[in-house]
Structure 1
Amino acid sequence: MTFDFPEPTLVSVNGVELEVFEAGRENGRPVVLCHGWPEHAFSWRYQVPALAAAGYHVIVVNQRGYGRSSRPAEVTDYDIEHLSGDLVALLDHYGYGDATFVGHDWGAFVVWGLTLLHPNRVNGVVALSVPYQERGQLPWIEGMEAVLGADFYFVHFNRQPGVADAVFGENTFQFLRNLYRKNLPLAEPQPGNALINLARAETPLGDPVMSDSELAVFVSAFESTGFTGGINWYRNLDRNWHLLADVDPIIRQPALMIYGDRDTVAKAERLLQFVPNVEVVSLDCGHWIQQEMPQETTAAILRWLDRRDAA
């Protein structure tokens, strides 16, 4: 790998093997970093050394379906109970009662769900891009289909299983090259599934988020695994809606929400109602926050950790 990224180890937890990268084990004070889709632990390459230097035990995991971690065949093996169970078992493996969890994109959704299901194992939450999602009256995919239509990628992944997986797999380099972009020009929506269109587009828009050698790490990983494991997270959204029906919906831990002002993911209008102890930071970037503005992201996380630890 490029960068001075830790060497991985395979850890057996919760019925799967997880590929884990860590730094600063001697420090204690665990901080667990959780990637999004379609990402990899390597997306935290800028944050790992800074957090370790600040005195934290940094644990970065390729979650199930990614990298060299297990990729179970059953779709339901990727629901929030399994994904959060992996993280709880990882804490048990290292002998920690609780930790601070940091998640980007889908990783943020998992960390919010982990905190709802296992509140005693989480002492703080940092979410990038994806805020706390209110449960609402309708299952999430059902609601999205009603408002955004059958071609919206969340809906398409669920209603046409295997179709997008195959397109992304046939165009892995092109898809990831076209996806990891910033400073995107405004464009009219085109018919069809936007991500399938992106995978088939010969010319990328905007500017690259990362160097060619960094992109090669992601491309190599997904050429090896394919995309189905990660997409199966989407195929459990309605199942997750049911699984979270009876939990206390309020996040009571200290939290930091980092938005990208040019991200297409909507900000939460009622975040304070569900996460009353949250601080909000907005950065002038798009969706790939910790890779687009790594120094500013790391500084925001460290400032929040310092204030929380001093409280």
Structure 2
Amino acid sequence: MIEMPPLQFAETNGIRMGYYEAGPKTDTPPVILCHGWPEIAFSWRHQIKALSEAGVRVIAPDQRGYGATDRPEPVEDYDIEHLTGDLVGLLDHLKIDKAIFVGHDWGGFVVWQMPLRHIDRVAGVVGINTPHTNRAWADPIELLRKRFGEHMYIVQFQDPAHSVDKIFNGRVEQTFDAFMRKPVPQAESTPAEEPVAGVGASPRLNLAFPQMIANYDARHDPRTPILSPEEKKIFVDTFTKSGFTGGINWYRNMSRNWRRAEGLDHTVRVPSLMIMAENDRVLPPSAADGMEKLIPDLEKYLVRNSGHWTQQEKPDEVSGKLIEWRRKRFG
């Protein structure tokens, strides 16, 4: 049985945002859970249950472009200023002064930006798989293009014709069948490849995700699914309705975000936790090397035998670590 609290709505930053809330309203600071791509607040179902049962107030929004939340048309409406501004507006709506922001995948990029832009609203930050890095020395899309070529999915996502969106929109079930699986265990003898600094992923990884989805057949996939059929149906139904463009628009702002971050101090001055997943191929633990230079108050934790979808692959371990760290740091 899949449990989620009732869906609620907040008017924030010019959009209507859907969110889920559980746990005692008196608990402070509350925990805001921010999902990645292609996900929704439902990705945090296990943490919502575990944290609220442990007495923690927890809030999980469908972020801009996703699920029950509005999907504005202009691409610029998905830049990092809008995405962090949405979370500030959510705090305002709930009359919350400060929160701990927890983010996975793209949500991780957003939560690491919160203390750089809205320090007075941030009690602490937890990144899951997504490291905090300094501003790249050049436009990140150009760096990705040089390193991985034109077929790298983030480079393909820059196409103004939105041709890749159609691949995902036309194959919603295939997308979740292909993505939401545990990785094949790596052979002991395979040397780990170094990821690209500030970008993640090793150079030999096949990152042509649109083509992978277009040619995917679940019958020939030996990997173990993470989602039950009921859980998969929730993702498939949600994205069938919303499409993928809203989420992909986050990627279409990477160059804009990079340009507009010039001169921004990237030091994170709040208690922080970095949860890494041993077998994440796109955001490997080595991508978090050197974070201590930018985050004076940082704890790191490695989840073994987990791929990219850490909070869904290892829900009890992730929830347990979040509860333990929050108690230790915030009582």
Q: Is 1:215 the counterpart of 2:236 in the alignment? A: no
By how many angstroms is 1:107 displaced? 0.4
Q: How does 1:263-278 map to 2 (within 5 A)?
A: 263-264=280-281, 265-266=283-284, 267-278=287-298
Q: Is 1:295 the counterpart of 2:316 in the alignment? A: yes
> What is the aligned partner in structure 2 of residue 280 from structure 1?
300
By how many angstroms is 1:283 displaced? 0.8
> What is the aligned partner in structure 2 of residue 250 from structure 1?
267
Q: Does the aligned pair in 2 maintain the 1:182–1:292 contact within 8 Å?
A: yes
> What is the aligned partner in structure 2 of residue 27 from structure 1?
26
Q: Deviations over 1:38-86 (max 9, x none)?
A: 0010000001122112222211100010001000000000000000000
> What is the aligned partner in structure 2 of residue 307 from structure 1?
328
> What is the aligned partner in structure 1 of residue 191 from structure 2?
none
Q: Is 1:133 the counterpart of 2:133 in the alignment? A: yes
By how many angstroms is 1:229 displaced? 0.2
By how many angstroms is 1:298 displaced? 0.6
> What is the aligned partner in structure 1 of residue 11 from structure 2?
12
Q: Does the aligned pair in 1 maintain the 2:133–2:294 contact within 8 Å?
A: no
Q: Deviations over 1:99-151 (max 9, x none)?
A: 00011100000101122111111110011011113212101111111111111
Structure 1 regions of 5+ residues with no counterpart? none
Q: Does the aligned pair in 2 maintain the 1:171–1:200 contact within 8 Å?
A: no
Measured in 1, the distance between the counterparts of 2:149 and 2:160 equals 13
Q: Deviations over 1:189-220 (max 9, x none)?
A: 69882343134311334110111110111011
Secondary structure class of the residue paired with 1:50: helix
Q: How does 1:105-116 map to 2 (within 5 A)?
A: 105-116=105-116
Give the TM-score normalised by the residue count of structure 1. 0.95
Secondary structure class of the residue paired with 1:6: coil
Measured in 2, the distance between the counterparts of 1:268 and 1:114 equals 18
Judge which range, 89-98 or 185-194, deviates more: 185-194
Measured in 1, the distance between the counterparts of 2:89 and 2:52 equals 22
Identity across matched positions, percent: 40
Q: 1:148 to 1:300 in 2, by over 3 A?
A: same
Q: 1:308 to 1:186 in 2, by over 3 A?
A: closer
Secondary structure class of the residue paired with 2:158: helix
> What is the aligned partner in structure 2 of residue 194 from structure 1?
209
By how many angstroms is 1:276 displaced? 1.8
By how many angstroms is 1:183 displaced? 3.1
Structure 2 regions of 5+ residues with no counterpart? 188-202
Q: Does the aligned pair in 2 maintain the 1:129–1:287 contact within 8 Å?
A: yes
Q: How does 1:133-212 map to 2 (within 5 A)?
A: 133-159=133-159, 161-184=161-184, 193-203=208-218, 204-212=221-229
Measured in 2, the distance between the counterparts of 1:186 and 1:152 equals 22
Give the TM-score normalised by the residue count of structure 2. 0.89
Judge which range, 162-171 or 226-235, deviates more: 162-171
Give the letter aligned to residue 260 of structure 2. L
Q: Does the aligned pair in 1 maintain the 2:24–2:55 contact within 8 Å?
A: no
Give the letter aligned to residue 89 of structure 1. G
Measured in 2, the distance between the counterparts of 1:14 and 1:190 equals 38
Size of the aligned set, in residue pairs, is 309
> What is the aligned partner in structure 2 of residue 226 from structure 1?
243
Q: Does the aligned pair in 1 maintain the 2:36–2:105 contact within 8 Å?
A: yes
Secondary structure class of the residue paired with 2:257: helix
Secondary structure class of the residue paired with 1:181: coil
Deviating beyond 3 angstroms after TM superposition, the runs of 4 or more aligned structure 1 residues are 185-192
Measured in 2, the distance between the counterparts of 1:170 and 1:108 equals 28
Q: 1:174 to 1:307 in 2, by over 3 A?
A: same
Q: Does the aligned pair in 2 maintain the 1:185–1:205 contact within 8 Å?
A: no
Secondary structure class of the residue paired with 1:125: strand
Measured in 2, the distance between the counterparts of 1:89 and 1:176 equals 31
